[in-house]
Amino acid sequence: MDQEILKSYSRLNGLNVSRETFLDFENYISMIIEKNKKINIISQNTSSKKTIFERHIIDSAQIIDFVDFNSNTTTDLGSGAGFPGIVVAIILKNMKNNMDVHLYEKSYHKSRFLKEVSEKLNLNTKVFQKNIFEIKNLETGTVMSRAFKPMPVVLDLVYENFSKYKNLIFFMGKSGKKIFEKSKDDWSLEYIEKKSLTNEDSFLLNIKKISKKNKKRYKKN
């Protein structure tokens, strides 16, 4: 199992995974599995060690090349169990980069879990148990969105609530192409597309600029 995990990491653009980073991920996965026995941090269908690593850890880690390392912060929208925010924080720790990772999660139990993981692994994170839709004039470097809200809703959130940011990363699934093309009816986007390492039907979007073609507002749900 360990060798399978390390082999998977070799695909991440030469990312040098130290033994310490590997142990951090092992501890993180163990904490998820233990917490998941009490409350649903992640789906029970994806709660085995192997599945967590392949479906969540590797999937989250592959965006590291898109993160703006020159910023003071990066922001994870609706962090949940910490994908991708905690994963990015672990990698930044390995890189000796002191950037703060801001984790927004309105669930009390999930935000408590994020704090427990951050404290145990000594990560540079700040956990906000808040509804991010209610916060204005946010400033950050990279904004990350994975399994949070529909793409049009997130675009509207970033456009309306962030006064400053460098780029916006989306994880797009099987229906992502259709959603993406539909979103471009209402938004002008400057972006880079990258094929996912974990699923041949999925892809990543690194959006540098967004501008609205109309004044339509999108529902949060």
Q: Where are the domains of the chain?
A: 2-212
Asked if pLDDT for residue 219 goes beyond 60, the answer is: no
Q: How confident is the model at residue 13 (pLDDT cuts 50, 70, 90)?
A: very low
Phi-psi region of 119 (alpha: psi -120 to 50; beta: other; left: phi over 0): alpha
Query: How far does CA 52 lie from the centroid of its chain?
Result: 14
- Kindly report the pTM of this predicted structure: 0.90
**Tokens representing residue 98 in the block:** 């002191």
Q: Which fold has domain 2-212?
A: Rossmann fold (3.40.50)
167 exposed, middle or buried (CB, 10 Å; 0-12, 13-18, 19+)? buried
pLDDT digits (tens, 9 = 90+) for 97-140: 999 999 999 999 999 999 999 999 999 999 999 999 999 999 99
**Tokens representing residue 150 in the block:** 């529909």
